[in-house]
Amino acid sequence: MSLAEKLGQLQQFAWTGDTGPGQGQAAQVRDMARAGRLGSVLNVYGAALTNELQRVAVEESRLGIPLVFGLDVVHGFLTTFPIPLAQAASFDTGVAERDTEVSAREARSSGVHWVFSPMMDVARDPRWGRISESFGEDPYLTAVFAAAKVRGYQGPDGAAIPPGKVAACAKHFAAYGAVEGGREYNTVDLSESRLRAVHLPPFRAAVDAGAATVMAAFTAMNGVPAHGDRRALTGVLKDGWGFSGPVVSDWTGVAELVAHGFAADARDAARLALGAGVDMEMVSTCFADHAERLLADGRLARERLDDAVARVLRLKFRLGLFERPYCDGHGEVTISSAGDRRAARRAAGRCMVLLKNDGLLPLVGGRSIALVGPFAESQDLHGAWAGPGAGRFPAVTVAQGVREAAGGAEVVCARGVDPEGRDVSGVPAAVAAVEAADAAVVVVGEPSHLSGEGGSRSDLGLPGAQDALVAAVAATGRPFAVVLVCGRPLALGPWLDAASAVLVAWHPGAEGGRAVADVLFGDVDPSGRLPVSFPRVTGQVPVHYDHESTGRPCEPGRSNPRYGSRYLDLENGPRFAFGHGLSYTTFRYGEPSLDVPAVSAEEIRAGATVEASVRVTNTGEREGDEVVQLYVHDRVASLVQPVRRLRGFRRITLPVGGSTTVRFTLGADDLGFWTNAAGGEFLVEPGETDVYLGGGSSAPGRCTLTVT
């Protein structure tokens, strides 16, 4: 390969297609492909178009190296599934795998080879808009779902990615979710132990699952921008974990090293990014413009360039593009199938979380229903980064779903306020509808554009006058349920105490309206659990469940609570904690137990395990799902430990009166911790570890393991 051809493999351009064939940007992409100076195109799909561009690269360039086409396919291509945060609420990796299987099949048939997903940034500040793309605040839950997404996109084979599957991209490396103040693209500052205990495990899980690619973060961590962080990209990811695929920049991320004040100019940015371990440049052209001069000046090693090229070519071989460069135009999926929409509906139902319920839900059929609020008849249920299907196939509204499920009962809809909460002229009509109906459901929340990239918010309350609408409904004195359509946890208003029931539907996707109705009428048991804590007020965040112990914890009965770790004007703890969720039935837990009461630290380090178990019984009047959760707490350690850490979960279905014993295995990863030593040190120390088994992060049932 010539130097120009090598650099071409490292270049990814964005397709806009807005200038027409043979003109402007479209012509540039074709000319670059023809000259062998383009490795990838993003934001392009459609069998005819991708095959046309591929033909230029394969049949008209000197070496015939195929292009790889990439696209943001986050929770659906044509068939929109619930947002990733919602999927994590299912505590069911099958939901994530089903989403990615459908997404991969639809996208690959349309010429897409590479999806920029999963996003596995642990998010503990819900002001950050991209929490909607995350799996929440917990590293263990995030890691499990990240690995499931990778398997669903790529298939079980660790090497070849077969037809009908796509290459996954683990993003954003690393700690993008820890931005200060929840502001997009902001600074990140982390200790070594928190980096390795919280933010790296999901990426390690994705790499171990065979993730084909990794994307660098926009942010600077501890003063070093991710696109120039050799310690992270090369030291940890490539050398430490043995990652052999390409690292792609985020959109113009290489050029932005200049704006960071880390690089003097574009040439310096190319030197720093390539030297750090970035292998492909998205959109900006620092590599293509300056790498030749850097090589000539001895400021870039040819071995590093060749390594980057090899990684890109290896990706294309994994995808089988040299053998099968074109997609089958006759097999292109152009419409969301009935089967896939059923899968999306089932997934959405499993993701919903019932926060409270005084018995109003499930609704009784045959009664008139007032369905009020800005999202009662809204099709804005797809959520951020919904894929091209969101524009082609409108989401089923809550009103449509409720009417289908109501069995001919009267359903009256009244918006009340608009989604931004500005126009309050409809509030009187909404109140009148509630007063005239047998049952009332208020559907409020966030428009999709208020979450996702660039969707940081300083106020986590309902937008505008939506709180006032719910308060007006509450003032009627009639029982009512609230359905929350959202991309993040919200700080709920004073109406919460008056509401008979509150259901978190998230942004539930294409079949969201029917899925909401399934839960409201009891056809689906609401068995989701919170993957992120709901704060009492915005000023309380971050308020994640796995905070470290303090010297003056805020505990009940403290002689002078003023001097505990708390706010003077706020009750301590979140409104609803991680792992919380109710069902339409009830469950009883027995006493947790361990198969052995003690084990030596040496045995654990050598691979020994301990089994924890608990008996669970359905004590209600209907079949239901429970999410059994296991948490650990190291009582005394050489580094202060979180009050609890999730280390296992199991979703089970039990009939009325049914019981089962749920078992978990604990090993070194569960009982040890990372220190702040340079480069990180993982320790398993002697001492006592409390093991909690129950239905949430505050479950009281525990047993104690002694590590000698």
Checking if the pLDDT of 18 tops 50, the result is no
Can you give the pLDDT at residue 88?
Answer: 98
Residue 687: name the closest of 604, 572, 573 by CA: 604
Tell me: the pLDDT tens digits for 24-65? 578 889 999 999 999 999 999 999 999 999 999 999 999 999
Longest dimension (CA), the chain: 80
The half-sphere exposure of 209 on its side-chain side, counting CA atoms within 13 A, is 29
User: How far apart are alpha carbons 290 and 303 in whole angstroms?
Assistant: 17
Against a cut of 0.85, is the pTM above it?
Answer: yes
Confidence class for position 206, pLDDT limits 50, 70, 90: very high
For residue 419, the 8-state DSSP code is T
Which domains are assigned to the chain?
Answer: 1-71 (no CATH), 342-540 (3.40.50.1700), 585-707 (2.60.40.10)
Give the CA radius of gyration of the chain.
Answer: 26
Tell me: the pLDDT tens digits for 604-651? 999 999 999 999 999 999 999 999 999 999 999 999 999 999 999 999
Q: Which residues pair with 650 in a beta bridge?
A: 628
Checking if the pLDDT of 16 tops 80, the result is no
List 125, 138, 250, 467, catalytic entry: 250
Checking if the pLDDT of 22 tops 50, the result is no
Can you give the pLDDT at residue 20?
Answer: 42
Residue 172: name the closest of 200, 149, 136, 192 by CA: 200
User: How far apart are alpha carbons 289 and 307 in whole angstroms?
Assistant: 19
User: How far apart are alpha carbons 165 and 162 in whole angstroms?
Assistant: 6
Written as one letter, the residue type at 687 is: G
Mean pLDDT of 81-90: 98
Can you give the pLDDT at residue 24?
Answer: 58
What the block records as the tokens of 609 is 């395990």
8 A C-beta contact, residue 506 and residue 486: yes
Residue 409: name the closest of 520, 495, 540 by CA: 520
Proportion of the chain in helix, strand, coil states, percent, rounded to 5: 35, 20, 50
H-run or E-run covering 671: helix 668-671
HEC profile of 500-545: CEEEECCCCCCCHHHHHHHHHCCCCCCCCCCCCCECCCHHHCCCCC
Residue written as token pair 């009883």: 588
Mean pLDDT of 212-236: 98
Residue 195: name the closest of 170, 214, 176, 218 by CA: 176
The pLDDT mean for the chain works out to 96
User: How far apart are alpha carbons 506 and 517 in whole angstroms?
Assistant: 14
Can you give the pLDDT at residue 557?
Answer: 65
Residue 121's alpha-carbon distances to 131, 168, 245, 585, in angstroms, are 8, 15, 20, 34
Tell me: the pLDDT tens digits for 143-176? 999 999 999 999 987 789 999 999 999 999 999 9
Checking if the pLDDT of 571 tops 60, the result is yes
Is 634 one of the annotated active-site residues of the chain?
no
The half-sphere exposure of 212 on its side-chain side, counting CA atoms within 13 A, is 31
111: left (phi over 0), alpha (psi -120 to 50) or beta: left
What the block records as the tokens of 11 is 């270049």
Share of the chain above pLDDT 70, in %: 98
What the block records as the tokens of 157 is 């084979």
For residue 335, the 8-state DSSP code is S
Torsion of CA 571, 572, 576, 580, to 10 degrees: -140
User: How far apart are alpha carbons 69 and 58 in whole angstroms?
Assistant: 14
Can you give the pLDDT at residue 25?
Answer: 74
Can you give the pLDDT at residue 159?
Answer: 82
Residue written as token pair 């010429």: 111
Confidence class for position 19, pLDDT limits 50, 70, 90: very low
Checking if the pLDDT of 21 tops 80, the result is no
8 A C-beta contact, residue 88 and residue 142: yes
First CA to last CA distance, the chain? 59
Tell me: the pLDDT tens digits for 286-333? 999 999 999 999 999 999 999 999 999 999 999 999 999 999 888 999
Tell me: the pLDDT tens digits for 383-406? 999 999 999 999 999 999 999 999
User: How far apart are alpha carbons 177 and 531 in whole angstroms?
Assistant: 15
